[in-house]
Amino acid sequence: MSDAAASGTKKPSLTYADAGVNIDAGNAFVGRIKEAVASTTRPEVIGGLGGFGGLFAANFKHMQEPVLVSSTDGVGTKLLLLQKHNRPHAAGIDAVAMCVNDIAAQAAEPLFFLDYLATGKLEGETLAGVVEGIAEACRICECSLIGGETAEMPGMYAPGHYDIGGFSVGVVDRPRIVDGSTIRDGDVMLGLASNGAHSNGYSLVRKLIETGKADLENDVLSDGTRAVDGVLAPTRLYVPAVKAMLAANIEVHGYSHITGGGMFDNIERLLPDGLAATVDISSWPVPPVFEYLLSFADVARNERYRTFNMGIGFAVILSSSEADKAEAVLKQAGETVYRIGHIHKQTGDAVTLIG
């Protein structure tokens, strides 16, 4: 028997809200985001928010052998800067982009997306901004936001902080999977411009900002953009570009989403045995945001290109005979395209930078 019971002392009355979890606020939050979620709905989606699971009536009759492709990712320590500068919308876009760009790198079409949001105290305005960013990215990619989880966990996060994870499923017809296995000696590499650092390398970004005592809100990049806008620009979505390539029936041998590991690791992982890539880094301009960040410390060249995308967010490897057509299709889809390198027999490193 407890001391309180033994002494006859009246026990305090407690609710879940007293412990820091407000179920009513959670329900109100779900009601607030319903319009954003509904704006992403594809015909295959059954029902709306509120069920125990998201329902998707897949119809792949137009495919010979449909293969599902899944991806999960987060936004990393970029979130700390996004929270500091109150940019939840960008966090939502980043969460989607990091997943669907990986799916697109296998020539797959993202079908649906789910999010996981966790925070210490539910701040409806901020988290609604995250979901609205998710919805915007899903609309651009024609990918349905069919569900998610918002967890209020008192004591787990500092005030004003939250974490986000995403999960997406796509589909590709097996004969059209692009996995690098058909890359050949003589192939060329096209690079699609990035929006900035996207969602990778932000531990180094934050260290550079700290080292340079940078003032993101007041500093200006060389192109006149506010530093905070350049540093925290959301990850570019490459799904429309890949869809355009599929619609144009262009034979692609390899796609690479340039994320953690930069140009080195994300090209090497595609290459068949015996082949290597040479990348001419003088073939595209280094974006002002990287000039700004790298002005604060001496970061070796290879370290830069292994940590950051350095201006190329997505690469396309294909036959030289397809390159002109591919470049035209990608530009029509809104991409800025550069010819950045070529594939050849390996005599040294898997990926070599020149220029």
Task: Please give the chain's pLDDT, 355 residues, in tens.
Answer: 555 555 668 888 888 787 777 777 777 777 778 888 889 999 999 987 777 899 999 999 999 999 999 999 999 999 999 999 999 999 999 999 999 999 999 999 999 999 999 999 888 788 889 999 999 999 999 999 999 988 889 989 988 899 999 999 999 999 999 999 999 999 999 999 999 999 999 999 999 999 999 999 999 999 999 999 999 999 999 999 999 999 999 999 999 999 999 999 999 999 999 999 999 999 999 999 999 999 999 999 999 999 999 999 999 999 999 999 999 999 999 999 999 999 999 999 999 999 9
- Helices and strands (H and E) in the chain: how many: 12, 12
Q: Report the SS3 class of residue 118.
A: strand
Contact 277, 350 (CB under 8 A): yes
Tell me the helix, strand and coil percentages in the chain, rounded to 5: 35, 25, 40
Torsion sign (Cα): 235, 266, 70, 111: positive
326 membership: H or E segment, kind and range: helix 320-332
Which pair of structure tokens corresponds to residue 249?
């029936």
If we measure between CA atoms, which residue out of 235, 118, 111 comes closest to residue 167? 111
Supply the pLDDT for residue 47.
Answer: 84
Given this model, what pLDDT does residue 171 score?
98
Which of 125, 217, 195 is closest to 162 using CA atoms? 125
Beta bridge partners of 115: 148, 166
pTM: 0.93
d(CA 115, CA 164): 7
Q: Which residues of 135-153 are buried (b: 16+ CB within 10 A; e: fewer)?
A: bbbbbbbebbbbbbebebe
C-beta of residue 256 within 8 angstroms of C-beta of residue 270: yes
Helix/strand/coil (H/E/C) assignment for every residue in 195-264 = CCCCCCCHHHHHHHHHHCCCCCCCCECCCCCEHHHHHCCCCCCCHHHHHHHHHCCCCEEEEEECCCCHHH
- List pLDDT tens digits, range 147-171: 998 888 998 998 889 999 999 999 9
Q: Which residue has the tokens 């033994």?
A: 6
pLDDT score for 8: 66
Judged by DSSP in three states, 100 sits in: helix
Q: DSSP character for 319? A: -
Say which residues have a Cβ less than 8 Å from residue 165's Cβ, sequence separation at least 6: 72, 73, 74, 95, 115, 116
Measured distance CA(137)–CA(97) in Å, rounded: 7
What is the set of domains in the chain, with CATH numbers? 23-176 (3.30.1330.10), 188-354 (3.90.650.10)
The answer to whether 120 touches 167, Cβ cutoff 8 Å, is no
